[in-house]
Amino acid sequence: MSDQASHGAQLLTLTRAARLVGVSRGALQKKIKKGELETFEGMVKPEDLLHAYPDMQLEDNTALEHFTQIKDDAFIHRVRERMLPEPEVLAERLSGLSKELANTRAQVERYKTITDWLYDKFNEYEKSGGNEIRHIIGPLKLWLRHELEKQSPSDYLQSYTVKESFLRLMTAQVRLLPGQREFFVEGSDTILDAALRAGISLRYGCSNGNCGLCKARVVSGKTHLMRHTDYTFTESEKNQSYVLLCAHTAVTDIEIETSEIGGIQDIPKQEIATRVKKIEPLGDDLALLHLQTPRTKRLQFLAGQSVTLESSNGAEADYPVASCPCDDRNLQFHLLRQRDNRLAEYVFKKLKSGDIVSLVGPKGDFTLNEDSPRSLIFLAHGTGFAPIKSLIEHAMARDMAESMHLYWVAGENGHYLNNLCRSWSDALDNFQYTPLPAEKANTVSVLKQVIKDHPDIGEFDIYAAGSLEFLKVVETTLVAGSQFPAMRLRTCHVE
Ligand code: FES
């Protein structure tokens, strides 16, 4: 549905409704499932939304606060880029809102003229008519006056309207066809950037307007070209409103026809010369390696997949990517120092910021089952946390899972990103974190705890990553012991 249509019908998409009241889409779906919020073909009425969230502080507007900060400090260039749309886009959206305001004013004037005329007619009939007419007209007049003098909308409703308009000024919603997935384009993001940030894997290649792999047909709404492109569309494509998603942003809410990546088979093997951005120690024998790809050659991968890293001395090893595909340029890896691993030795002894590390991949099928409506349990052992982190960040970006529970059994380097996990559970109502010390938790007792915490474990999807020994116990205890469906347990070996 186009922006105008959805607005005219006064219905909100779930994505927009969730953003307005500041909850996850998953939380909204939970309310719908429980019958606490009514939907109309996947949309909700503003009044139902306000009724379902009566305590929501609409005035507590983070976006507005950010905006004020930006005004206060003109030098926060990066933040401004992230928050504010291009001036041309902002101007078009403002012009759209102004037209809407003008139309609404004209309509209000028209209604006022009609009611004045009606009131005059009532007076006329009251004077000229007999008793019977007066008995009918009197209460009608009273009712009309009462309705006209009613209080203007409450502060709460006004605050909602302000926030809704502000959201429409600062962001545009994209709906993908035929899948109906939705996401917001914010700031100066391209449609492709915004899709990746939302955890949606679209087809793309160069990210630079050259290869044409990201082209898609705009079915409704307006887009804006943000950078020069070399790709040439055919006449037929031009007539059908094709655009490059890596070079366009959305001005209004839009619908586009495009195909998402269906699975690992759709992602090509890539060879990329990355640069070391930073090496952070995470423990005596553990480092967090930050690699950055060139702007025009980013790594396309699915959360949970691995790549082969090769240093300039020819040493190579496979590592799971420990970051989310929503940032396809900045990649993270958790490297454990192991005697027989020449690459890790090289990283600990010689590698420094600015050096080149070659990357080949992605590979592996430890990926999220995105079609599953089930809640998620993550079991990490030691540095098995790396691919689990990627999955969790992706699941958060997708905002689909009703609930997630992470159990992390410490390896030799403890829970080396404990604060990060705690911040996830502090920030999200639907995320639970249970760190388990290595010495107290053998794998069987961990699984007993998981089953005790979740007696309905059969309703979950489970993702486990760690040593072969750990995975073997998980498989035998869960699948053989508890008859957990093997199809819903995905595992990844990480030493
Ligand atoms: S990804 Fe190559 S043109 Fe968009």
Pocket test for ligand 1, best of 191, 203, 210 (most atoms within 8 A of CB): 210
CA of 230 from ligand 1 middle (Å) equals: 10
- The domain locations on the chain are 57-260, 268-363, 375-493
Q: Which of 105-114, 319-328, 394-403, 425-434 has the lowest mean pLDDT?
A: 394-403
Structure tokens at 323: 């970051």
Residue 116 has pLDDT above 90, yes or no: no
Rounded average pLDDT over 152-161: 68
The CATH-assigned architecture of domain 268-363 is Beta Barrel (2.40)
- CATH architecture designation of domain 375-493: 3-Layer(aba) Sandwich (3.40)
Instruction: Give the nearest ligand 1 atom to 209 CA.
Output: 3
Count Cβ atoms within 10 A of the Cβ of residue 363 and give its class: 0-12 exposed, 13-18 middle, 19 or more buried. Answer: middle
Cross-strand pairs, 256: 176, 218
Give the SS3 label for residue 122.
helix
Q: Which atom of ligand 1 is nearest to the CA of 246?
A: 4
Q: Three-state DSSP class for 297?
A: coil
Q: 334 and 383 in contact (C-beta within 8 Å)?
A: yes
- Identify whether the C-beta of residue 370 lies closer than 8 Å to the C-beta of residue 295: no
Q: Partners of 183 in the beta sheet?
A: 174
SS3 255: strand
| Cα atoms found within 13 Å of the Cα of residue 316, Cβ hemisphere only | 11
DSSP code of 384?
G
> Whole-angstrom Cα distance, residue 471 to residue 384?
10
* For ligand 1, mutation pick of 202, 204, 242, 329 (most atoms within 8 Å of CB): 204
Substitution site in 193, 225, 246, 256 for ligand 1 pocket (most atoms within 8 Å of beta carbon):
246
CA-210 nearest atom, ligand 1: 3
Region 122-140: mean pLDDT is 85
- Residue 155 C-alpha to ligand 1 middle, in angstroms? 46
Structure tokens at 301: 């991968």
pLDDT score of 320 more than 80: yes
Say which CATH topology domain 57-260 has: Ubiquitin-like (UB roll) (3.10.20)
Q: What is the DSSP letter of 347?
A: H
Please give the Cα distance from 437 to 414 (Å, whole number): 7
Strand pairing class (404-409; 431-436): parallel
Tell me the CA–centroid distance for residue 248 and ligand 1, in Å: 11
Residue ranges lining ligand 1, Cβ < 6 Å: 204-214, 231, 244, 246
Calculate mean pLDDT across residues 447-473: 90
pLDDT of residue 66: 46
**pLDDT higher for 268 or 481?**
268
pTM reported for the whole predicted model: 0.77
Q: How far apart are CA 321 and CA 345, in angstroms?
A: 19
